[in-house]
């Protein structure tokens, strides 16, 4: 599949600035449509070759002539421009195909005159064109705009000018009206043109003159029961409409646009459609404002972003992470976003990518974003959340490189980003500070004093710099006179602030202790924490990290924890919060994060999801969201466990789980066959579950069971557990079945005789067919569905062969005869 476009604010600048960019810079062409480069040039830029209504006077007279010819039935013979629109246009687009990055401005202008004339003639003669020919004309217009945007270096000039013609000549009005057509082919072709031409000005025009009609078409197209060409167009339109204003975003949400995006992100596996969904949610996060953020939380967007941020495609991941970072920067909804667990995916993505390489990987960001878009990103950079800071700083590195080539770095000073970047560059947030420093270098800005994340090693000068950042520079003399370094700073309490620093104002002390608490959570204690005590506290909760240094100073390490009493935590470690002391002691007893204690383990995780990363990550992430929304506590490994601690911590989580859902996608157990050394992780997780009375629930998707004798003996029992077959189009029914297994309403395993028919068919090897059972069907749209075993290949098209819609009855999908 060609690279799909990501349309989150692909704003560009003037023709002159584009011309100064590197001549070899190319745009990626996608399977259907290309990234729209937004138009930010004065209307005079194209006035030299576009006259009234966007057409030169010669084009207008030619159009009039063509209209009269149309009326007399001579269109096909005498009006070549419209003949191209109606007949096989693919053979007549040589003018566009000849253009390249090296083409002269005259060649570009001549080509533009040809196609602006063609578009104008179509608009002027629209009423006279036979209805059956209009979809063909619209397809040609879509192809022309598609090719225009894709011309290297000149695509912005061509694409935006053609889009202006449609708006100025009344073409947008025709498209808006066609969005309500009862002719579905005409509706789709009109929507496809709209999706190609939604520049900044055209979005504003539609928001004012035809939002209801366009939204109706977008909702129809985004229906996942249609083919992917429809869903790509529908979600592409919604992506653009969410990038206009708060009021427009609110209208789109009210009329079901957000529900369509969420639905497509759940049920569609097409990469380009998911890119549109991810971008649409990022746009809504940036442009929607606080009220629309609340509406997103009501729809559980923060949860449904997890599968997108967990996707294999980098562009889908990135814009899902951008949406999460933007949402968590809003204090009103921070807690809800944090609970989703999706924020854990942001920093791993950033650490795995280079900003310069990523900016060149897709036309979605290859030309940079507009001033308005970047200005909306500054509050994300100013957030106290390290994930938000890190992602915003990463993006500003990309933008700084692009604007540097365009000689337009002044834009960062205009939007106030430079000072924010300097503050982040000097902060102890390791990832964000590194990217912020890179961005400042590209802007030719002076780098600030850098604060290490190793707070215990800070000098007095580092402490003074930190005071300056948090707004307490007035007390720098007192801190300097007392020679407060990182070690002493981490031990400060309110009594010391009063007696030694002279901070008498109680509110100021509260503010200072709040900032100090944030610093303690962000600090790196590896220079003095040799037993990984910090990780144990982090596993309990982020608010516990602040006690790492007091515990270390008291001589506590992970091995000593199990001997501590409540009185010792209070008196010797200075943990005054009794609830926090109780949580620490309870987690010590439960052995959470403390290595290798024998005996029974408390089952404090409802579900552990085991999956094969290469084929099952998307289904596993989807299950996580479904189950969490039903109130279950779910553990899914997202590669956050540190090297060297991976074995014990991950297997300990399996032992703490009441249930293990074993996601079996294509070839999931192949590596287990012959694995006598226990090197495979699914093998190890299954064995850990079997040995710790953890109920195993197999969930199959396009999976063929091997013979039990082929598997290692210590995991062979997994073949005889009842399970659920995943049917992507009937997710709710599948999850309801899972929920009954988890709650014990359905038996999980009774040995060989316990194998049974489950939702969608038989899932265990050798299970006998039950006579008189309902016919069962299954459809899966998994990325790994191709080439799977025939028993898992029944599609919805097979189900509908008799003209019957399937229904879900007692967890079995069946036909009505």
The three state secondary structure string of 274-299 is HHHHHHHHHHHHHHCHHHHHHHHHHC
Q: Spell out the residues 6+ positions from residue 419 whose beta carbon is closer than 8 angstroms to its own.
A: none
Token pair in block for residue 815: 């036909």
Q: CA-to-CA distance for 197 and 141, rounded, in angstroms?
A: 10
Q: Kindly list the distances between the CA atom of residue 184 and the CA atoms of 137, 143, 188, 214, 220, in Å, as whole numbers in the listed order.
A: 15, 19, 6, 14, 9
State the DSSP H helix or E strand holding residue 536, giving kind and residue range, or none if neither. Answer: helix 533-540
Question: How is the beta sheet containing 605-610 ordered, strand by strand?
Answer: 634-636, 605-610, 657-664, 695-700, 724-725
How many Å apart are CA 306 and CA 265, to the nearest integer? 10
Query: Is 16 a residue of the active site?
Result: no
Taking each helix axis from N to C end, the angle separating 134-150 and 184-196, rounded to the nearest 10 degrees, works out to: 20
Only one residue has tokens 């549109």, namely 276
End-to-end CA distance of the chain: 39
Give Cα separations from 579 to 178, 566, 572 (angstroms).
63, 10, 17
Residues ≥6 apart with Cβ < 8 Å to 609 = 620, 623, 624, 634, 635, 636, 660, 661, 663
Q: Quick check: 781 and 269 in contact, CB under 8 A?
A: yes
Q: How distant, in Å, are the alpha carbons of 250, 284, 296, 376, 789 from that of 291?
A: 8, 11, 9, 16, 48
- Yes or no: say if 36 and 7 are a contact pair by the CB < 8 Å rule: yes
Q: Give CA separation, 75 vs 69, 89, 135, 287, in Å.
A: 6, 15, 17, 46
Q: Which of 38, 347, 445, 685 is catalytic?
A: 685
Q: Residue 367 and residue 406: Cα distance in Å, rounded?
A: 9
CA angle (103 as vertex; 101, 106 as ends), nearest 5: 140
Which residues are bridge partners to 725 per DSSP?
700
Distance of CA 65 to the CA centre of its chain: 51
Query: Exposed/middle/buried for 264, CB within 10 Å: 0-12, 13-18, 19+?
Result: buried
Helix, coil or strand: residue 662: strand
Work out the angle at residue 26's Cα, subtended by the Cα atoms of residues 23 and 29, and round it to the nearest 5 degrees: 160
Dig out the tokens for 28 from the structure.
């990626």
φ, ψ (nearest 5 deg) of residue 644: 90, -25
Residues designated catalytic = 685
């Amino acid at each position: 599949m060609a690279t799909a476009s990501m349309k989150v604010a692909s704003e560009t600048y003037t023709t002159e600035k584009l011309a100064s960019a590197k001549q070899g810079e190319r745009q990626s062409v996608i399977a259907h449509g290309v990234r729209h480069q937004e138009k930010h040039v004065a209307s005079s830029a194209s006035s030299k070759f576009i006259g009234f209504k966007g057409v030169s006077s010669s084009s207008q007279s030619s159009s009039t002539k063509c209209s009269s010819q149309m009326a007399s039935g001579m269109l096909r013979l005498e009006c070549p421009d419209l003949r191209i629109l109606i007949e096989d246009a693919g053979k007549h687009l040589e003018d566009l195909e000849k253009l390249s990055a090296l083409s002269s401005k005259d060649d570009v202008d001549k080509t533009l005159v040809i196609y602006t004339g063609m578009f104008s003639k179509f608009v002027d003669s629209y009423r006279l064109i036979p209805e059956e020919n209009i979809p063909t004309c619209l397809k040609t217009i879509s192809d022309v705009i598609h090719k225009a945007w894709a011309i290297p270096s000149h695509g912005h000039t061509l694409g935006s000018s053609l889009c202006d013609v449609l708006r100025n000549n009344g073409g947008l009005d025709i498209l808006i009206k066609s969005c309500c057509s009862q002719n579905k082919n005409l509706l789709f072709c009109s929507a496809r043109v709209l999706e190609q031409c939604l520049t900044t000005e055209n979005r504003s025009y539609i928001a004012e003159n035809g939002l209801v009609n366009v939204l109706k078409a977008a909702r129809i197209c985004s229906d996942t029961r249609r083919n992917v060409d429809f869903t790509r167009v529908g979600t592409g339109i919604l992506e653009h409409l969410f990038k206009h204003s708060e009021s427009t975003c609110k209208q789109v949400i009210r009329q079901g646009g957000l529900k369509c995006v969420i639905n497509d992100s759940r049920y569609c596996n097409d990469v380009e459609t998911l890119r549109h969904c991810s971008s649409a949610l990022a746009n809504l996060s940036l442009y929607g404002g606080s009220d629309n953020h609340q509406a997103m939380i009501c729809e559980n967007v923060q949860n449904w972003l997890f599968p997108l941020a967990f996707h294999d495609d980098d562009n889908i991941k990135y814009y899902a992470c951008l949406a999460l970072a933007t949402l968590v920067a809003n204090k009103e909804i921070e807690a809800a976003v944090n609970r989703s667990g999706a924020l854990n995916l942001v920093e791993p993505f950033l650490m795995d990518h280079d900003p310069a390489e990523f900016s060149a990987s897709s036309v979605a960001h290859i030309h940079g974003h507009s001033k308005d878009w970047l200005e909306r990103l500054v509050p994300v950079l100013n957030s106290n959340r390290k994930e938000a800071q890190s992602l915003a700083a990463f993006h500003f590195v990309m933008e700084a490189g692009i604007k540097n080539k365009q000689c337009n770095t002044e834009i960062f000073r205009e939007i106030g980003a430079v000072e924010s970047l300097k503050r982040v560059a000097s902060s102890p947030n390791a990832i964000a500070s590194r990217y912020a420093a890179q961005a400042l270098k590209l802007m030719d800005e002076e780098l600030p004093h850098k604060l290490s994340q190793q707070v215990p090693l800070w000098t007095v000068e580092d402490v003074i710099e930190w005071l300056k950042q948090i707004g307490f520079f007035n007390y720098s003399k007192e801190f300097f006179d007392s020679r407060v370094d990182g070690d002493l700073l981490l031990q400060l309490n309110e009594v010391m602030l009063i007696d030694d620093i002279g901070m008498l104002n109680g509110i100021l002390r509260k503010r200072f202790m709040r900032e100090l608490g944030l610093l303690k959570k962000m600090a790196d204690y590896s220079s003095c924490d040799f037993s990984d005590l910090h990780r144990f506290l982090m596993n309990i909760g982020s608010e516990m990290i602040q006690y790492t240094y007091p515990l270390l100073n008291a001589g506590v390490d992970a091995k000593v924890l199990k001997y501590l009493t409540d009185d010792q935590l209070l008196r010797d470690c200075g943990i005054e919060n009794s609830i926090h002391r109780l949580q620490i002691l309870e987690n010590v007893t439960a052995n959470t994060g403390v290595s290798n204690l024998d005996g029974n383990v408390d089952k404090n995780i409802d579900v552990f999801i085991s999956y094969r990363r290469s084929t099952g990550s998307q289904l596993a992430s989807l299950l996580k969201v479904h189950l969490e929304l039903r109130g279950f506590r779910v553990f899914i490994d997202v590669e956050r466990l540190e090297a060297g601690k991976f074995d014990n911590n991950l297997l300990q989580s399996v032992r703490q789980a009441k249930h293990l859902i074993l996601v079996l996608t294509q070839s999931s157990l192949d590596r287990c066959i012959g694995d006598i050394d226990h090197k495979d992780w699914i093998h190890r997780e299954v064995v850990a579950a079997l040995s710790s009375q953890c109920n195993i629930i197999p969930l199959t998707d396009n999976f063929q069971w091997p013979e039990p004798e082929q598997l290692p003996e210590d995991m062979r029992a997994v073949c005889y557990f009842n399970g659920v077959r995943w049917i992507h189009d009937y997710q709710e029914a599948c999850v309801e079945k899972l929920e009954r297994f988890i709650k014990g309403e359905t038996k999980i395993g009774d040995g060989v005789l316990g194998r049974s028919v489950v939702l969608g068919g038989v899932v265990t090897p050798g299970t006998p067919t039950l006579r008189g059972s309902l016919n069962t069907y299954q459809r899966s749209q998994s990325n790994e569905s191709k080439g799977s075993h025939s028993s898992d290949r029944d599609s919805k098209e097979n189900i509908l062969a008799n003209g019957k819609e399937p229904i879900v009855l007692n967890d079995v999908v069946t036909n009505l005869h």
